[in-house]
Amino acid sequence: MLSDQLIVRDLGLLPYEPTWLRMQAFTNERDADAVDEIWSLQHEPVFTQGQAGKQEHLLNPGDIPVVQVDRGGQVTYHGPGQAIVYLMLNLKRKKVGVRELVTIMEDAVVDTLNDFQVKAYAKPDAPGVYVDDRKIASLGLRVRRGCSFHGLALNLAMDLEPFLRINPCGYAGMEMTQLGMLVEDLDQAQASQCLLNHLISKLGYSEVTRKTTLD
């Protein structure tokens, strides 16, 4: 069944804007027979400002580009050492609502961190995942014609300084953390794979094809 099939693309380090445009194109052009896809990657440094984003939350972006995007949420930072997962899913076919998908994403991150003996939690009033009141993962989705795109970002082992140039997700003074500060000798590839495995399991895909390009 199509609802059981998934393509996972492990894409490495990519610039933000071309990837975003490919996500949009995939979502706009997909038909009822298109197989769902999850893209796993990292981004070159960029601030992205969601549809609810306010200019005052960009404190001092400096030399890092700012891109206005079509996901929900405020402003966040992406950079090397951060696991990005984009979910291009036919939610109607999967019979998954948006709120349910957000919960699945948060639970997958919590379970991933638990694999590394790190206790994390989600907040009902502030989407994302937290460790000791510090944010470790951010979420932002867009749904078009019953299909999702955009996704989540989990901080693994990155330069956190750029988060000081913004109010992360619109919260002044929000402290950020990352798994590499909580775990010795973190294997980023292992952490990314754990996250994918939890997402695939929670979403109920049984036929998974893995690719390393967008072609």
Q: Do the annotations mark residue 78 as ligand-binding?
A: yes
Q: Do the annotations mark residue 73 as ligand-binding?
A: yes
Closest to 86 measured CA to CA, from 11, 1, 188: 11
Q: Do the annotations mark residue 153 as ligand-binding?
A: yes
Q: How many CA atoms lie within 13 A of 66 on its CB side?
A: 19
- In the chain, DSSP assigns E strands to 5-14, 36-43, 46-49, 66-68, 75-78, 82-88, 121-123, 126-131, 134-144, 147-155, 207-211
Sheet holding 66-68, edge to edge: 66-68, 46-49, 75-78
Q: Do the annotations mark residue 152 as ligand-binding?
A: yes
Q: Do the annotations mark residue 3 as ligand-binding?
A: no
Give me the helix-helix angle, 98-115 and 188-203, nearest 10°: 140
Q: Do the annotations mark residue 62 as ligand-binding?
A: no
Strands 147-155 and 82-88: antiparallel
Q: Do the annotations mark residue 76 as ligand-binding?
A: yes
Q: Do the annotations mark residue 71 as ligand-binding?
A: yes
Is 169 an annotated catalytic residue?
Answer: yes
Query: Which residue of the set 96, 120, 169, 179 is catalytic?
Result: 169
Q: Do the annotations mark residue 138 as ligand-binding?
A: yes
Binding positions: 71-78, 138-140, 151-153
Which active-site residues does the annotation give? 169
Binding positions for substrate: 71-78, 138-140, 151-153
